A and B are shown apart, each in its own frame.
Chain A
Amino acid sequence: MRWLSDSAVERLREDADLPDLDNSKYALIRKLGSGGMGTVYLAQDAELGRKVAVKVMNVTDPSGALASRMMREAQIIALLEHPSIVPIHDVGTLSDGRVFYAMKLVHGRRLDESVDSASLSDLLRIFQKICEAVAFTHSHGVIHRDLKPENIMVGSFGEVLVMDWGVAKVLSSRRPESDPALLENGDISLEEIEFADTLPLFGTPQGETSGGTVIGTPAYMPPEQAMGRTEQLDERSDVYALGAILYFLLTGRPPSDTSGSSTEPSELHIGQPARPRQIRSKIPKAIEAVCLKAMSERQADRYRGAEEMATDVLNFLDGSPVSAYRENLVEIAGRWASKNRFLILLILTYLLMRVLVLFFLRR
């Protein structure tokens, strides 16, 4: 018998792992990346002749529950037509029972890979776009529940795309019943999607947990989600995750070190993360306050939604006061001076000219 080398084993393993897209219109090209729930491949849509990203779930779906949930995810995303939300083209089941969906192929870098090369103001502008995209979905009663830098793509022209709506939830209390614009988008509406159901938050449809851990990303997860209190999740849960993303953008690291990967949800939120300014002292106090307000333990202490947070970030970028931080007089003066640099320069120039004129006239 021929014993295989390490590289041969790896090649065989990779190849055996490739999904069989034979009964679909997609031709597999190569693997792009993988996550907890599924693996994404580059594929060619044979009918339309375009390249797409195909995400194949890592588990099979004998009951069809995952397929129907994926279909609901596709429906939710289809209705959330927004430039920062990646559209899903197609949902199907492979011959081996795994569910897949095809979506627009996104060119760009993940947010966590873009941090080092960008300035704070660039990062905050990107962050503001993320808030706006999330605010849009909140306005339609949908929360993401797994926001993190790895789920954000940044295009080469600064466009921002919020990915992976696999664990999104439609909030039954926020039915957009009177939103005609939403209903115009297609034949179905969010009302027709089963509101009682959500996409899987804990475990797979078969009830298996992924290696015994909570699905979601502990470092970016609000306490109520980490504790498994799913009924408490609302827009403010996404706000917490946005705060954690802002923390990452400001400090270059996630809010808490979860390398230990506790399997007990209740252990995921022991202790508060260090304040951003303790890590990087040059971070402005106002933007630190925005971050910490969003990451408050109590939901009531956070921003009520992503829009409110986006407004504060925009105010900070414009040199206006933010609701999360009460400035003293010196800070107000400093911010005013910084915002009105040109005006101050103009006045100073004018005064200097007056002094010079008076000086020469007296001679």
Chain B
Amino acid sequence: MRSDRFPVTRLSAIVGTKSSDQEERTRAFEALIAAYWMPVYKYVRIKWNKPGEDARDLTQGFFAEAMEKDFFGRYDPAKAKFRTFLRTCLDGFVANENKAAGRIKRGGGATIMSLDFDGAEEQLRVASPPVDGSIEDYFEKEFARSVFSLALESFRANMLNAGKEIHLELFERYILDNEDGSTKASYKVLAAEFGISTSDVTNYLALSRREFRRVVLDKLRELTASDDEFRREARALLGVTPP
């Protein structure tokens, strides 16, 4: 059933990992894994120079152990941002796994969810990390990619659910159909393409932009532990402090 209302804001998944409710804890871990598995996999591949197969095991193993040993429950937002904490945990985990190599299979062969590692490898092949940038910057960039990719997926679902197919098509045509680096189509061109007026294009894009921004902020709220961290992240990612 369609609804013209958009979903309400989610609570912090980091806080959710400490919940006494098992279902809530699982949901929280799934949200964190969805946002972080790709940056974690690429980080392990590049910083630890691991082959694809090992990096897969280590990525799965890291999240499995994080759930089992409640790594994320120990996070204190007053001390560092969550990504810094997560990378520290990950470095510790990989170092321990290196020491333990030979005793057990890396990551214990854990498989906690289906992750598109082939897609990640393809991305690494197409866009290799810059040699002059730091691994921390690379991780940040991958996190941003992850947030925007997840936000776009939610945005699509919300728009379709709200019956706003034209808004969605217009937004994707305007923003994403320029992968080759060509300039954006003008509102006039879009109006002719979609058979609507230029002012409709302005209005549809404004609504889509507003909804997309809301979804990104919603995603960020889910991936941060405190209001302060959320505001810092929003400022870093979108350049604005949210209301």
Tell me the chain A residues, 38-78 only, with Cβ under 8 Å from chain B.
39, 58-60, 62
Whether B238 and A13, one on each chain, are in contact in the complex, defined by CB atoms closer than 8 angstroms, is yes
Q: Is the CB of B179 within 8 A of A16?
A: no
Which residue of chain A has the shortest Cβ distance to B202 in the bound complex? A27
List the A side residues contacting B213 at CB < 8 Å.
Answer: 16, 20, 96
A3-11, A160-168, A295-303: which lies at the interface? A3-11
In the assembly, what is the distance between CA of A228 and CA of B38, in Å?
A: 45
Cross-chain contact of B148 among A13, A95, A98 (Cβ < 8 A):
A13
A96 touches B243 (CB 8 A): yes
Within 8 A of A (CB), among B150-202: 150-153, 175-176, 178-179, 181, 202
A95-B210 Cα distance, complex, nearest whole Å: 10
Task: Give the chain A neighbours of B141 by CB distance below 8 A.
Answer: 6
Residues of A within 8 A of B153 (CB): 1-2
Q: In the assembly, what is the distance between CA of A56 and CA of B153, in Å?
A: 29
In the assembled complex, which residues on chain A have CB atoms less than 8 Å from the CB atom of B243? 60, 62, 96-97
Let me know if B127 and A5 touch, CB within 8 A: yes
- Complex interface: chain B residues within 8 A of A97 (CB): 243
Contact (Cβ within 8 A) B241 A60: yes
Chain B residues near A1 (CB-CB < 8 A):
116, 149-150, 153
The 0/1 profile, CB within 8 Å of B marked 1, for residues 1-42 of chain A is 111111111011101111010100001000000100001000
Number of A-B contacts (CB under 8 A): 84
Cβ of B212 under 8 Å from chain A: yes
Q: How far apart are the CA atoms of A20 and B243 in the complex, in Å?
A: 13
Residues of B within 8 A of A15 (CB): 175, 209, 212
Query: Within 8 Å of chain A (Cβ to Cβ): is B101?
Result: no
The complex places the Cα of A39 from the Cα of B178 at a distance, in Å, of 24
- A352 to chain B minimum Cβ distance, whole angstroms, is 68
> Nearest Cβ in chain A — how far from B229, in angstroms?
14
Say whether, besides A4-B145, A4-B149, A16 and B238 are in contact (CB < 8 Å): yes
A145 CB, min distance to chain B CBs, angstroms: 23
B106 vs chain A, min Cβ distance (A): 25
| Distance (whole angstroms) from the CB of B202 to the closest CB of chain A | 6
Docked-complex contact A12 and B206, CB < 8 angstroms = no
Give min CB distance, B146 to chain A, whole Å.
Answer: 8
Q: Which residues of B contact A58 (CB under 8 A)?
A: 235, 239-241
Specify which chain A residues have a CB less than 8 angstroms from the CB of B212 in the assembled complex.
12, 15-16
Q: Considering only CB atoms, which chain A residue lies closest to B176 in the complex?
A: A8
Whether the pair A11, B123 counts as a contact (CB closer than 8 A) is no
Task: Answer whether A5 and B240 are a contact pair too, CB < 8 Å, given A13-B148, A15-B212.
Answer: no
Chain A residues closer than 8 Å to B209, beta-carbon distance: 15-16, 18, 20
Interface size on A, residues (CB 8 A): 29
Please, which residues of chain A bring their CB within 8 A of the CB of B202? Answer: 27
Contact call A98/B240, Cβ cutoff below 8 A: yes
Q: Which residues of A contact B238 (CB under 8 A)?
A: 13, 16-17
Contact status A39-B239, CB under 8 Å: yes
> Roughly how many angstroms separate A34 CA and B202 CA in the complex, as a whole number?
23
Contact of B178 among A7, A13, A20, A22 (CB under 8 A): A7
B33 within 8 A of A: no
CA of A166 to CA of B242, assembled, Å? 21
With A3-B38, A3-B123, A20-B206 as given contacts, are A60 and B178 in contact (CB-CB < 8 Å)?
A: no
A39 and B235 alpha carbons, distance in the complex (Å) = 13
Q: Which residue of the partner chain, among A9, A22, A62, A96, contacts B144 with CB atoms under 8 Å? A: A9
- Residue among B144, B241, B242 with the highest chain A CB neighbour number at 10 A: B241
Q: Which residues of B contact A17 (CB under 8 A)?
A: 238-240
Q: Which residue on chain B has the smallest CB distance to residue A211?
A: B235
In the assembly, what is the distance between CA of A2 and CA of B145, in Å?
11
B51: Cβ under 8 A from any A Cβ: no
Q: How far is the CB of B6 from chain A (nearest CB, A)?
A: 15
| Closest chain B CB from A49 CB (angstroms) | 15
Question: Which residues does chain A contribute within 8 Å of B119, judged by CB atoms?
Answer: 3
- A39 / chain B contacts, CB cutoff of 8 Å: 239
A12 with B152: CB separation less than 8 A: yes
Query: Which residues of B lie under 8 Å from residue A13 when comparing CB positions?
Result: 144, 148, 237-238
Beyond the given A7-B179, A22-B206, please list 9 additional residue pairs across the A-B interface where CB-CB is below 8 A.
A1-B116, A4-B145, A12-B152, A17-B238, A27-B202, A34-B239, A60-B243, A96-B213, A97-B243
20 contacts between A and B (CB under 8 A): A2-B153, A3-B119, A4-B152, A5-B179, A6-B145, A7-B178, A7-B179, A9-B144, A12-B152, A12-B176, A13-B148, A13-B238, A17-B239, A20-B209, A20-B210, A22-B203, A27-B202, A59-B240, A96-B243, A97-B243
A residues engaging B (CB < 8 A)? 1-9, 11-13, 15-18, 20, 22, 27, 34, 39, 58-60, 62, 95-98
